[in-house]
Structure 1
Amino acid sequence: MRRGSVTAATAAGALMEIAGPDPVGILLLDDRACPGYGWLALTGLVLAAAGALALSRFAEVRT
């Protein structure tokens, strides 16, 4: 943690919690969104990723 920030590490961890299991569920377990709601699932994934990236960039306290 000496070279990086805790905020960036937390944001990266949150992003991997979202982006890691999705391909496994879709590709290996044949998991799908309800018919007609695929756009909502994709929107949620994009918003969660954008939030994690914003957290890593803007949440660092400057001293």
Structure 2
Amino acid sequence: MRTTLDLPENLLNKAMRVTHTETKTAVIVLALEELIRKSKISDLKKFKGKIELDINLDEIRVRQ
């Protein structure tokens, strides 16, 4: 999909250097994927301590 954006050139260049991406499109796609990943992690953190799992890790990992 084609979209016209007005982005700060210095910010875009810095992001490309930091992420070792060669194109503006690639760095924007990477940024969007990372934003989604972080959002999912944040959503999962809401369940911390609220889910009881009856799991024996030693049994699962075949430890004696």
The alignment's TM-score, normalised by the length of structure 1, stands at 0.41
Bigger RCO (CA 8 Å, 6+ sep): 1
Higher CA-based Rg:
2
If each structure's helix is expressed as a fraction of its own residues, which one has the higher value? 1
